[in-house]
Amino acid sequence: MRVFKFGGASVKDADGIKNVYDVLQKVGHEDVLVVISAMGKTTNAMEVVVRNYFDKSAELKASIQEVKKYHNQILLDLFDDENHAVFTAVNTLFKDLEYFLEHNKSPNYNFVYDQVVSMGEIISTTIVSHFFNHSGLKNQWVDVRELIKTDNTYRDAVVDWEQTQQNIKKGIKKKTLNITQGFLGSDENSFTTTLGREGSDYSAAIFAYCLNAESVTIWKDVPGVLNADPRYFENTTLLNQISYREAIELAFYGASVIHPKTLQPLQKKEIPLYVKSFINPLLPGTSVSKGADLEPQTSCFIVKKDQLLISLSSLDFSFIMEENISEIFSLLHKYKMKVHLIQNSAISFSVCVDDKFGNFNELKTILSKKFKVTYNDDVSLYTIRHFNDKSADAVTKNREVLVRQLSRETLQIVTKELK
C-alpha cells in the first residue's frame, strides 16, 4: 500500500480538489491511503472561532458563518445538485460544532481547541470523499479518530503505538482507495486530540509504519524539498535526493516541507518518502531514503520567525551551574516553551524559544524570583546547514545579530531586523 498526503493548499478550492482527483488518475489509486488536511486556511479560521468562544466575542457566530460560507461555495462549485447527500453531511458537521460550543463545560483552552479545529479535517475529507464517489472514484471514508489513539495532551498528543497499530490493521481495507484525516487522533475517552500544527505529515507516517507501506508521498505546491523556503529566499534549489539523517536534521531545525516527527517511524522500517508537486505529479520530486552519501551539495536555509530570545543572568553574579540549568529546563517544559537554541556562559544563559501557547509572562514571573530576566521578542532564528561565508553573509545582511552559534555542519543565528 502507498500512503499519500495532500495538504490544505492542494484542496483549498473546487479546482484543487478536482486536481487531486486528476493526480490520483495519473499516479494510480488502487491500494492507496490518502491523508488530507483541512481546506486552505481553515485551521486558522477555526482558531479564530476558538478565540472568539473564549473571549465571549459577539463575533463568534460570524466567524463560524465565514467557515460555513467558504465550504459551501466549494460544495456549490463541485456539485450541480444541491440535494446531493454531501450538503446534508456537511451541514450536520457544522451543527455538531455549534452544539459542542453551546454545551461545552470545559474551561481547558487546549481541549476546546482540539474539538473545534479538528472539524476542518473532518469536513474536508467528507467533501473530497463524496466528490470522488460522485465522479466514479470509489473510496472508503475513514474516521482517523477511531484508529490513531493518543494520550490527552491536547494540541500535542502522544501516540499510543500499540493500540494504534492494531486499529489501523483492522480499519484500513487493502486493494481500496481509503480517505482519512491528517493531524487528528483521540484519547481513551474518545475526545479528539491533535498531533501539533502541520501534523498531517506525521499522520501519514503513522499509517505507513503500521501498514508496512511501500512508500509515503507528500504532495506539495513546490517541486520537492528545496534548499530554502521560497517565501523568504530567492533562487532556491531542488534537492533531488537526501538521506533520512539529513531530512531529520532539516526537519528538526524547522524546514516546513517535512514535519519534524514524520521521519522517525519511516526510518525505522526504511520506508521511502517522496515529496512531489501536485501541479506536476509526474516529475520525480525529492526522494528521502537510507544512504550516507545523499547529503546536499549546497547550503540549506531554514528560518523560524516570531521567536523569543530569553536571557537569564544570576542576581548575585554567581555561576549558572547544572542545577540551575536543570531547573530552567524544567520550567521551560512546564510552560510548554519549544526550545530551538541554547547558549550559556559563566553567569548567563540564553534560549531562543517558540512561545506557541502564550505562557511567557507566567514563566517570566517565576524566573524573575531567581534570575535577572531580559528578552527580545519578534526575533528570527536562521539555521544554515552546510554553511559557508557567502550563505552566512546573505542571512546577516541588514539584520542585527543577537546570537551566533556554529558547529561543523550547522550555523545558527538569532537576528533582529534593523529599523
* Binding region for ATP: 5-8, 231
Q: How many CB atoms lie within 10 A of CB 175?
A: 8
Specify binding-site residues.
5-8, 43, 121, 231
Is the alpha carbon torsion for 212, 215, 221, 224 positive or negative?
Answer: positive
For the chain, give the longest Cα–Cα distance.
74
Q: Whole-angstrom Cα distance, residue 384 to residue 409?
A: 8
Q: Rounded to the nearest 5 degrees, what angle is found at the Cα of 150, between the Cα atoms of 146 and 151?
A: 135
Question: Residue written as cell 461555495?
Answer: 73
Q: Is residue 384 a contact partner of residue 299, using CB atoms and an 8 Å limit? A: yes
Q: Residues with Cβ < 8 Å from 280, sequence gap 6 or more?
A: 223
Q: Which residue in 154, 273, 259, 142 sits closest to 200, CA to CA?
A: 259
User: How, if at all, do strands 215-220 and 273-277 pair?
Assistant: parallel
Dihedral pair phi/psi, residue 346, rounded to 5°? -60, -45
Run of H or E residues at 201 = helix 200-211
Q: Do the Cβ atoms of 167 and 149 come closer than 8 Å? A: yes
Known binding-site positions for substrate? 43, 121
